[in-house]
């Protein structure tokens, strides 16, 4: 392995703002808001402030699945948060999520609004509130185990592998090797589980699949970090089968479009306030009506 650096850490770390990397402009070593900005509020019980990254898509898929199951109380307004422009540091957003990351959710169905941050907490909150997509039998523990597996594992995929393979200003062999090995191990964990059962919790689709699919399904299709060939994702046959089955669900197709501000204009629904918006307010339709 090449000797990539003569760097040795100083006694005390100092912030080098210009250290490069894809997200250097928004990363900082402190929390809290940077500016005053209230969040908009729509007419539905749930207010979602998000962007269609894998963490954001988990929640829009969940809300669309609940609506498809007939839970009208899951109606929601989805507002676009542009993290590359620093919207997550506005005072209103920080009041909903002190961690300044999308997604952030407000349940306004009761007398006092309830804030929920962390996408895994949102899936669990919504599943419990509506009694859906979280099994009540013995497979409940399996479902929760895979849900928490995702929350613990994906940072190695995104913050570890993805960062050093795709976003870091220099390619560091040690870092890419370490995280590529871990991500392949994770794909193997999933593949072995999905050799045993149709879905992660067992026979039925659940919040465990909704948490894992946006990350590992996208990875399996080569859509994350352009790393399909590097990681030889086609070798994980059970992950491929599961990924394709979930992609066919109509709630998943809708959920992927919400708060999407990149890709094909026909796939981008920047804000969602009504079920009809999928037909009339995608970016291609809005451009045609200008
Ligand atoms: N564990 C959190 C992770 C959320 C997260 O990392 N969100 C990213 C986008 S996927 C974000 O908002 N980044 C903006 C920032 O770090 O300033 C969750 O699952 O909700």
Q: Which atom of ligand 1 is nearest to the CA of 159?
A: 6
Q: Are 131 and 71 a contacting pair, CB within 8 Å?
A: no
User: Which of ligand 1's atoms lies nearest the C-alpha of 27?
Assistant: 17
Q: Are 100 and 88 in contact (CB under 8 A)?
A: yes
- The half-sphere exposure of 249 on its side-chain side, counting CA atoms within 13 A, is 20
Among 33, 102, 218, say which to mutate for ligand 1: greatest number of ligand atoms within 8 Å of CB: 102
Cis check: omega of the bond before 103, within 30 degrees of 0: yes
Residue with tokens 């590992």: 216
Tell me what pLDDT residue 6 has. 82
What digits encode the pLDDT tens for the residues 33-74? 999 999 999 999 999 999 999 999 999 999 999 999 999 999
Residue-wise pLDDT for 150-191, tens only, equals 999 999 999 999 999 999 999 999 999 999 999 999 999 999
Distance between Cα 290 and ligand 1 center (Å)? 33
Structure tokens at 152: 């613990």
Nearest ligand 1 atom to alpha carbon 103: 20
DSSP classification of residue 272:
B
Residue 282 Cα distances to 257, 265, 275, 278, angstroms: 8, 7, 12, 6
* 73 or 290, which is more confident: 73
CA dist 70 and 163 (Å) reads 39
Q: What is the pLDDT of residue 289?
A: 86
58 lines ligand 1 (CB under 6 A): no
pLDDT of 4 over the 80 cut:
no
* pTM for the structure as a whole: 0.96
């Amino acid at each position: 392995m090449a000797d990539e650096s003569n760097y040795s850490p100083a006694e005390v770390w100092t912030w080098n703002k210009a250290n490069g990397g894809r997200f250097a402009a928004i990363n900082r070593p402190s929390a809290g808001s940077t500016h005053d900005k209230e969040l908009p509020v729509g007419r539905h019980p749930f207010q979602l402030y998000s962007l269609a990254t894998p963490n954001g898509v988990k929640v829009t898929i969940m809300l669309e699945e609940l609506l498809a199951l007939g839970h009208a109380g899951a109606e929601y307004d989805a507002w676009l948060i542009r993290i590359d422009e620093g919207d997550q540091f506005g005072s209103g957003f920080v009041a909903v999520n002190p961690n300044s990351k999308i997604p952030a959710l407000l349940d306004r169905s009761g007398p006092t609004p309830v804030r929920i941050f962390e996408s895994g907490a949102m899936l669990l909150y919504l599943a419990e509130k509506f009694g859906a997509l979280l099994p009540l039998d013995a497979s409940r523990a399996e479902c929760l185990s895979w849900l928490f597996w995702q929350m613990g594992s994906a940072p190695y995929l995104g913050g570890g592998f993805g960062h050093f393979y795709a976003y870091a200003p220099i390619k560091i062999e040690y870092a890419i090797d370490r995280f590529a090995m871990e991500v392949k191990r994770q794909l193997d964990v999933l593949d072995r589980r999905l050799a045993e059962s149709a879905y992660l919790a067992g026979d039925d689709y659940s919040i465990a699949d909704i948490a894992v699919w946006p990350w590992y399904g996208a990875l399996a299709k080569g859509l994350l970090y352009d790393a399909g060939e590097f990681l030889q994702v086609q070798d994980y046959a059970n992950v491929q089968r599961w990924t394709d089955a979930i992609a066919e669900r109509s709630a998943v197709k809708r959920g992927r479009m919400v708060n999407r501000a990149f890709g094909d204009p026909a796939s981008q629904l920047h804000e969602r306030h009504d079920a009809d918006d999928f037909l009339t307010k995608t970016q291609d339709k809005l451009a045609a009506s200008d």
